[in-house]
Structure 1
């Protein structure tokens, strides 16, 4: 196979950069490719911006980037969600610099232009200086199209693309399963931690549905848990699988018995590591069925769901990817709790999150080291390929897409085929 990047009229031939079983190394490090990804992917499809619990009340807001463009997700006085470009229409200063909060309006700190929660321009200082040449209705904050599915809020710059539910497709049923972690209570994002790694965003995109690395990269995590928990996380001995769900989405089922957290609650024994929690809940007066529902939810779902291009519902937390540059990515890990649920159960959830995902945890620091090594290694051998062919011989068609064993690279192939589709559209 020819490893030279084909060029046509000095343009990159994206069809040739992604094959059925591999992707070219230039996808990790070519600045022109990165810039075109922002335009053709991040500014051309549905991108996740928030969970509804992060902006629960009128005036609640959260800042985030879509691609490289800063936006504010905010709920107005009628409880409608808006996603607004974080840029004053006067001289381009950001109108909000806090990560989250609550406000009655957005006021530009440079010249004082003020905007309502729906983005409309409410007032400007000394309006008489404009005479008749300023029509406030012509200068609202730019508003994106917004849609929501089961608490997941997405936005897009495109007004004419398919509805969000069509874009999510077969991923919707997995989102519904993931939200059962509320154990009958509403899901609530209690907090997040952010970090950056020196690597391309697609390196992390691949990781969410990659079970192949788990027993090697996460040896320290496996050595930190009890024997039964270690056995539970021995995915290669479980009848799990990876499935392509269409539109670049994929799911990796690692622990099949924990796919539906409501299934066989009274029949299956409580895991040994949660027996103390179960007894504490009984002591608080919870009925046995509720105890089992809460304990099961605290342990998280038995799957990772990748929603192209920027959000993962990963066992027990949200992982958000924010591209910074071709060789730098910011990751947001958001811990999920039960809104109004028992305090002791939410504390258990936080400790489990810290144990693996936390900055001093046994999981994420090892992952980020591996991602950094991938980016560093990509600088060797410019004409080499990233191989994505594991599990290909046993891949079978399903009602939703394609499926192979739990350590297959089916999810990565799904993401890169969607990448190619959008980059060549």
Structure 2
């Protein structure tokens, strides 16, 4: 009982550290709060697991985490998707260590219990020793509740949570727009890379809808662009905005003319895209198709943040995983089109490498900034993190949501409002 009281007390303490416009820096560094977050924020919410294109065939699998808990997304022989706990029902060893691939079954390396792609227990050594003890049908890998939207798969340990579409709410409109960057083809995962940074997961959560840092942190990226493209990324004084979409989700529109990639396709192709356009023509694409593909290849003009662990960031997925109070894993997922022209998917990969890749112009600079925030959180005995920019200049969007200028911290406040709500709810029994 004392453990439950302590946990609930920690949740309330964390919730009290979030005020409208500021949060206490202890949220980045308190290990007790971190442990409470794993339960309240991750184990009891919808958490992004992966994209359906990552398990394209019968026998395909992908491993992931919900907070600290390992799970498997698999596709069985009937092409049904499953999300399973990655834990043998015998002595608890993980039954799958690969990040993704194909298999006929999951076999525990400790004692050889074998499970089907749907999680059912199919075989175990010396089965006669279990006669009268249990039936195999009673001991499958434990299944999680999961739902998908536009191919994005989310799972939860909470059986009573609201339906996924209700949780996504106003973000669904923006997911629909984001998926248009397949250029008329279904969006699929082309590849990924991962890295860890020495900082709390909420530091990265704040970053995706923070335009204020862009011209400072990403000077090297802007300097690598041609003049016309660099002008597009000079958006702090433009017509963009940040909108709180509810439930912790938010969108930051940086380039309004690239919100809907299927609009204004009668416009001529900019000269700087001529090489890609010609390559698509060489692959036999009509002029209408070429225009659609060229426009989609370079991504959307917005970042969409989905609480608590994934963002649809211009042209890629960014997935965060809390490792410890001072360490976070980041997964950058490159996206292209299923069956799309080779030149289109190649261009998508080159653009991903340019900014998000390990040797790109964007990610290393972001990582340095995140690490410095964590270091700074160690200074002094008290301190507050400000998220109040634009707080006094909000307006109401066409969808009835709070909206601020593109450099406002509207999205961060929305995320922390949801964080405060789920932490204040206390420990789930």
TM-score, length basis structure 1: 0.96
The question of whether the paired residues in 2 share the 8 Å contact of 1:246 and 1:400 is answered with: no
The question of whether the paired residues in 1 share the 8 Å contact of 2:14 and 2:27 is answered with: no
CA drift of 1:284 comes to: 2.9
The question of whether the paired residues in 2 share the 8 Å contact of 1:247 and 1:418 is answered with: yes
CA drift of 1:279 comes to: 1.9
CA drift of 1:134 comes to: 2.4
Match of 1:298 in 2: 297
3-state secondary structure, aligned to 1:309: coil
Moved over 3 A (4+): 7-12
Match of 2:77 in 1: 77
Q: Name the CA distance, whole Å, in 1 between partners of 2:10 and 2:35.
A: 16
Q: Name the CA distance, whole Å, in 2 between partners of 1:285 and 1:123.
A: 51
**Is 1:384 equivalent to 2:369 in the alignment?**
no
Q: Name the CA distance, whole Å, in 2 between partners of 1:271 and 1:195.
A: 35
Deviation digits for residues 94-128 of structure 1, max 9, x if unmatched?
10000001111111011000111111111210011
Q: Which moves more between the two structures, 207-216 or 374-383? A: 374-383
The question of whether the paired residues in 2 share the 8 Å contact of 1:81 and 1:146 is answered with: no
- The aligned runs of 1:304-383 (5 Å cut-off) are 304-383=303-382
Q: Name the CA distance, whole Å, in 2 between partners of 1:134 and 1:284.
A: 59
Deviation digits for residues 320-359 of structure 1, max 9, x if unmatched?
0011000000000000011111111111111111010010
Q: Name the CA distance, whole Å, in 1 between partners of 2:199 and 2:8.
A: 28
3-state secondary structure, aligned to 2:330: strand
| Residues 302 and 142 of structure 1, relative CA distance in 2, 3 Å threshold | same
**Is 1:401 equivalent to 2:424 in the alignment?**
no
**Is 1:143 equivalent to 2:157 in the alignment?**
no
3-state secondary structure, aligned to 2:265: coil
Q: Name the CA distance, whole Å, in 1 between partners of 2:239 and 2:41.
A: 34
CA drift of 1:131 comes to: 2.9
CA drift of 1:9 comes to: 6.6
Match of 1:167 in 2: 167
Match of 2:53 in 1: 53
Deviation digits for residues 134-186 of structure 1, max 9, x if unmatched?
22222111110010111111100011111000000000010000000111111
The question of whether the paired residues in 1 share the 8 Å contact of 2:119 and 2:141 is answered with: yes
Match of 1:204 in 2: 204
3-state secondary structure, aligned to 1:393: coil
- The aligned runs of 1:89-238 (5 Å cut-off) are 89-238=89-238
The question of whether the paired residues in 2 share the 8 Å contact of 1:248 and 1:416 is answered with: yes
The question of whether the paired residues in 2 share the 8 Å contact of 1:121 and 1:139 is answered with: yes
CA drift of 1:10 comes to: 7.5
3-state secondary structure, aligned to 2:82: strand
**Is 1:14 equivalent to 2:14 in the alignment?**
yes
Unmatched segments (≥5 aa) in structure 1: 1-6
The question of whether the paired residues in 1 share the 8 Å contact of 2:70 and 2:86 is answered with: yes
3-state secondary structure, aligned to 1:13: helix
| Residues 11 and 265 of structure 1, relative CA distance in 2, 3 Å threshold | closer
3-state secondary structure, aligned to 1:236: coil
Q: Name the CA distance, whole Å, in 2 between partners of 1:65 and 1:327.
A: 18
3-state secondary structure, aligned to 1:296: helix
Q: Name the CA distance, whole Å, in 2 between partners of 1:8 and 1:179.
A: 40
Deviation digits for residues 300-327 of structure 1, max 9, x if unmatched?
0000000000010000000000110000
Match of 1:63 in 2: 63
Match of 2:275 in 1: 276
- Aligned residue-pair number: 418
Match of 1:289 in 2: 288
The question of whether the paired residues in 1 share the 8 Å contact of 2:145 and 2:155 is answered with: yes
Q: Name the CA distance, whole Å, in 2 between partners of 1:206 and 1:273.
A: 33
TM-score, length basis structure 2: 0.95
CA drift of 1:8 comes to: 9.9
